[in-house]
Structure 1
Amino acid sequence: MSVKLSVNINKFATIRNARGGNNPDILKVALDCERFGAQGITVHPRPDERHIRYQDTLDLKPILTTEFNIEGRPDYRFMEMVLKIKPAQCTLVPDAPQAITSNAGWDTIKNKEFLQNIIAELRKAGIRSSIFVDPDLAMIEGAAAIGTDRIELYTEAYASGYHKKREEAIQPYLEAAKLAHSLGLGVNAGHDLDLDNLKYLKDSMPELAEVSIGHALVCDALYLGLENTIQQYLRQLR
């Protein structure tokens, strides 16, 4: 069974915001990604709206035909938006407001009560929940205790170690995915995945359901074109 590809369109919004106006048109980009084969669209609105804006998320919801995944730190404004839009999935990420990009997973033990309350709100609204975590077995067990539907494994360490010794780099992720699956959690993955390291992850991890890829995919599209790039990523996941 193919692993689903959700395209994170944040970087397209970064380009748009650099000049003002609406070029590239984020709504058209999202629809084109779907048309070219993406099985989902991911956005990560941050408080300063330096890329995806909160209005973008509102505008995207009625036009998308694939899975809509909104990720971010669940502060009041974020949760108000998510509960209004009701995406298919909400991925909770412990980003500090000034963070350039996601750089760590949740401590699901220290934040248990906070995350339980958030997950309960999402479940009540019919939204699938996912918690961004490092491949730490204690954090996986903590996520299961919270009651989330899925985890998203933070794959930066795997990507960094892939070209040095990929067997060692992937091992903690295989153990984490196996444990998550045994605890009834779905397994997503994301961060620094690209055309070099994606297939090995997919082939080694039978529990993997979905990957979210943005930065590398957009960089590849500069050379290969968006449609061709999405097709190449999909081939890695089949």
Structure 2
Amino acid sequence: MLENKIIVLTGGGDGIGWECAKAYLKAGATVCILDKNQLSNDKLEALNGTDTLVLTCNIANEAEVAMAFNTVVEKYSRIDAIHNNAAIAHPSKTLDQTSNSEWDLLMDINLKSILYTTRYGIAHLKKTQGCILNTSSMVGSIGQDNHAAYVATKGAINALTKAMALDYASFKIRVNAVSPAAINTPTLQAWSQEQPNAAEIEKYLNHLQPLGDMPAGDVIADACTFLLSNAARFITGTILPVSGGAELGYRTIL
């Protein structure tokens, strides 16, 4: 589905991003992973023999993003897709309890990084009539208690996705977002430990989705592969729920 596509993937070293990297490779793409952390030896070994470029990059730093994109273009001469996946979820606090530095870091990593990747990638996407994919969250649509700043970033991503879709449609560039609910990732596990009822949170999360227990990130990766493929060629400005129905109606949880 993604044969010969050059995809820049932020936050590709763990969680949903790592599952997306594997799915994109399986679908025939070349994947350029941008991550603030170096990949583990096991993951580097898993990528051995694949067409992958791994760059250490703090996506909240404009100069590092610019350098990373220059490296990608120097090596591959083009970019077909950008997947803005990198994010943090800490802290789990109400708005009044959130410090300035915590707020700024969330905004820089989750939201401002999309400004940077677009700024340095859009000219290349115009040439390839490529696409942009943003990783959002169900909480950006329905809200969540005790997580105000994070929710704000995801709500902003939803609105930004629609604005970008309109801005770049004349260039045949599609812009969409994927919206997970509870996905079993290191980020969610860390969030769970911040909750006052940490011992019960896994049970709660497993009952959140009508379709069943928390899945791994591969269910998101499959949806992302579709949205980046030609099969989604007439889809833009969509916030696609991949949530097992978590946002649907009243439910009785026994």
**What's the TM-score once normalised by structure 1's chain length?**
0.35
Higher Rg: 2
